Structure 1
């Protein structure tokens, strides 16, 4: 499955293929990991195992109308590969093409094995290796791989099923019910009445796109989300690209957007009420006079307590002004034959219902882990630098920011993993294990985010600590200093040699309240 890598993979008499680094996932993070390994650790062999039949991750899975980024491509793009298109808020196919071109041009695609779903990973301190069990293809044939370091780049949600609440009367609805995560190719919504349940990024993308040809689209939300408009094209980026080399223009634009994002986020923490008002004033200006902004666009939380929704070129507001889309706010009582009845008695008619109700969060692709024969539950660990886990050796994962682009953090994580590997080579050690023994560290939730998909998964996530290096910073500038320039041997990361007993993780933090 996939193309054989050009760097030799050692296959033992036991049939197990062995590499230095095994990367799980061929989306944004996995392709970025391949580039960093080739660039910073050129002597290391690696494979990328991808459970799907193509690369791209999110950008291969989602096919719903209008699928696009909700971050600008100057930060969602890689630091090492400029985004050269005029549109900064890009559509899904353009993003996937960017990822495919990156993998091809740098030879990363030769290291990818498709149809390889990782199901378990078992660590041996005696050999300083992970043995990874994989199911291949539709027949789920089992095969094993071994690696010195395991790098999980598999995203943060389940690919096989999105989240849908148990709506009463679902079976009574005479029309079609669709979840955006599994969009059917044969769905014809031209001239139809459509209800999109949800108010997050997916709903905000779907509603204006479907409204172009549907009879009418209603966005039905239980509660509102903060929304901001932004031009799909970055005029500064396009002007810079016209007069500067592409890489320089890209770097300037990237930092411009990073710094503005940091400024805006910090402003929401310092003066949330002022930012809330600023956002709502701009929403009000986009809508017809007298529109009920308080009911339909004023959340009960502050800006960036949940992810902010982007409305490129004001497309959602334009559809509302044109009358091709509308917003209804209320709780669902049940589905009916003709549509949806709300708890307040209102009935909304529909031919098609789209349940844009969210994701099922799943860290580390649902893989089960053992360390020297002992099962390890990620939820019982403390996150080290937001990428490794207390007491688990030679394992890292890539997880992006909740308040900025995924790739900003992914790039830093990939570079840090390479720094860690090179440090072990220089010191003649083979095992790196984060150990929590600081008595002053207190437990905190791993993600301080009130979004439903996070809250539903909170019991299955690791914890973070109250101070470095156990603290999860949603701050690119802090992470840049820590991960790119901070010490690798920082006292919390312990280094041992093959065959040596792993250091004990001496503290077990109680779950945060």
Structure 2
């Protein structure tokens, strides 16, 4: 049996749930369904279970724009975020539209009928399920849920202890009293160190190169003030959100326009936390701030365990694994009972599913993104990739609201298809994410991602204020986005022949 909906959403994480809520809020009148491979809502926040898992963006901007995050914590733990997403789905009646345990495998668009045919596999049984939809929304993020990135370290088969990747943290894993080495210097490693330090006998963060780190208060003093003053949640959220968006943008702009000053400010903060004797070599990357995403530590938790002696940082390269731990190129050997490889993600879009148009295979890395959400010559399709230099949800909210504007115009004017076409001069060599940051996972996934454009709305600049103008304020019928009725192209203001 084939099931049909107007809009089919892939993924029940932040982006997918947010899109579904917008379809209701914007009164699109469209039927929809969500295909979710996992058995629960949450996406990333249901998958990752390692100690201390938390947001790396402040919750006033990481929460949905239409539903306040209630609380004073600047960053939130993974379980609380998942509960927030799940509660949002319940509030907007989204939960009943989710089909769990469905792996999205393929989709083909039939231009003559303006229809996507989607194949999904019910993983519990292996059965195949077919869906049709007028519009397809990719909201499954950009990494491989099955396998994190783990380099093949020389001699790792010789190590007598346990090797764990944070993406697949063992349930009830007991590391109490054990010597732990965490390989990596990104957000995951910086979260793990203070979370494991009280239970393990000692934790060492082994980094090949440092990451820029910024300390934040655990609780937002302004949010606390609003609570005491009994400011309504919606008002407090709106004000705090606007403030934090501005602060995010200001931090990014400072790092771009005056990187030397940004470095001095960040290193001064490290000295303030750790004292004058700190070896700043462990905290001074070779790149400028925001060439890679900043890592944030709430209430200086990382610095506290470093000062206590429960943890330390080693900056060196791995020569090989040994029976007892890791031999470094300097000749030092780090003994370990447990090695945690916080080495990052593998980029994968749409969960590895294949797309085609009229039976012709589609390569997403040969498309160019328009307003960073639509893709050249791919009809009735929107894919959400959040910000790399700000909260993911800021972009997801804009993308979902933009989709609703498009759908409402289609409904009001009887259009069946929307599509953008790029000219040769619109293409750029950089991927949709490649021009933003130099992080390892972005560079590794460069070949799989769609391209970004060279000019205008084709060009990605990761600026919320600019994107809000493009997707929220600018006219939908802008001369680039084209609409059709049953496959016949319609220019803005014209009526299709025979319509």
What TM-score bracket applies, with the shorter chain setting the length? over 0.9
Separation in 2, partners of 1:419, 1:156: 25
Displacement of 1:179? 0.3
Gaps of 5+ in 1: 1-14, 504-513
Partner residue in 1 for 2:232 = 245
Displacement of 1:288? 3.7
Separation in 2, partners of 1:216, 1:385: 47
Partner residue in 2 for 1:429 = 415
Displacement of 1:501? 7.2
Partner residue in 2 for 1:11 = none
Partner residue in 1 for 2:342 = 356
2:96 alignment partner, one of 104, 107, 110: 110
SS of residue matched to 1:458: coil
SS of residue matched to 1:47: strand
Separation in 2, partners of 1:404, 1:135: 34
* Pair 1:33 & 2:19 matched: yes
SS of residue matched to 1:56: coil
Separation in 2, partners of 1:372, 1:483: 29
CA contact (8 A) 1:334 1:342 kept: yes
Partner residue in 1 for 2:477 = 489
Separation in 1, partners of 2:361, 2:478: 27
Partner residue in 1 for 2:496 = none
Q: CA RMSD in A?
A: 1.4
CA contact (8 A) 2:368 2:427 kept: no
Distance 1:56 1:272, change over 3 A: same
SS of residue matched to 1:33: helix
Partner residue in 2 for 1:7 = none
* Pair 1:382 & 2:386 matched: no
Separation in 2, partners of 1:141, 1:334: 44
Partner residue in 1 for 2:494 = none
Separation in 2, partners of 1:241, 1:356: 37
Displacement of 1:95? 0.8
Partner residue in 1 for 2:497 = none
Q: Where in structure 2 are the equivalents of 1:8-27 lying within 5 Å?
A: 15-27=1-13
Q: Where in structure 2 are the equivalents of 1:474-513 lying within 5 Å?
A: 474-500=462-488
Q: Where in structure 2 are the equivalents of 1:36-51 lying within 5 Å?
A: 36-51=22-37
Separation in 1, partners of 2:222, 2:460: 32
Displacement of 1:427? 2.4
Partner residue in 1 for 2:174 = 188
How does the TM-score come out when normalised to structure 2? Answer: 0.96
* Pair 1:95 & 2:81 matched: yes
* Pair 1:227 & 2:227 matched: no
* Pair 1:280 & 2:267 matched: yes
Partner residue in 2 for 1:166 = 152
1:268 alignment partner, one of 249, 252, 255: 255
| Superimposed CA distance per residue, residues 193-240 of structure 1 (whole angstroms, 9 cap, x where no aligned partner) | 000000000000000010011100000001000000001211101212
Separation in 2, partners of 1:445, 1:131: 27
2:440 alignment partner, one of 427, 449, 452: 452
Separation in 2, partners of 1:238, 1:467: 43
CA contact (8 A) 1:53 1:114 kept: yes
Displacement of 1:446? 2.1
CA contact (8 A) 1:125 1:502 kept: no
Separation in 2, partners of 1:308, 1:113: 36
How does the TM-score come out when normalised to structure 1? Answer: 0.93
Distance 1:273 1:53, change over 3 A: same
Gaps of 5+ in 2: 492-499
Separation in 2, partners of 1:328, 1:396: 44
SS of residue matched to 1:189: coil
1:332 alignment partner, one of 294, 318, 332: 318
Displacement of 1:99? 1.1
Separation in 1, partners of 2:451, 2:427: 11
Displacement of 1:442? 4.5
Separation in 1, partners of 2:218, 2:274: 19
Separation in 2, partners of 1:324, 1:194: 11
CA contact (8 A) 2:482 2:489 kept: no
CA contact (8 A) 1:125 1:500 kept: no
SS of residue matched to 1:68: coil
Separation in 1, partners of 2:425, 2:385: 27
Runs of 4+ in structure 1 off by over 4 angstroms are 440-443
Separation in 2, partners of 1:373, 1:116: 23
Q: Where in structure 2 are the equivalents of 1:66-145 lying within 5 Å?
A: 66-145=52-131
SS of residue matched to 1:354: strand
Q: Where in structure 2 are the equivalents of 1:150-161 lying within 5 Å?
A: 150-161=136-147
CA contact (8 A) 2:483 2:489 kept: no
SS of residue matched to 1:262: helix
Separation in 2, partners of 1:434, 1:468: 14
Separation in 2, partners of 1:439, 1:427: 31
SS of residue matched to 1:146: strand
Displacement of 1:139? 2.6
Once the two structures are overlaid, the 10-residue window that deviates more, 311-320 or 276-285, is 276-285
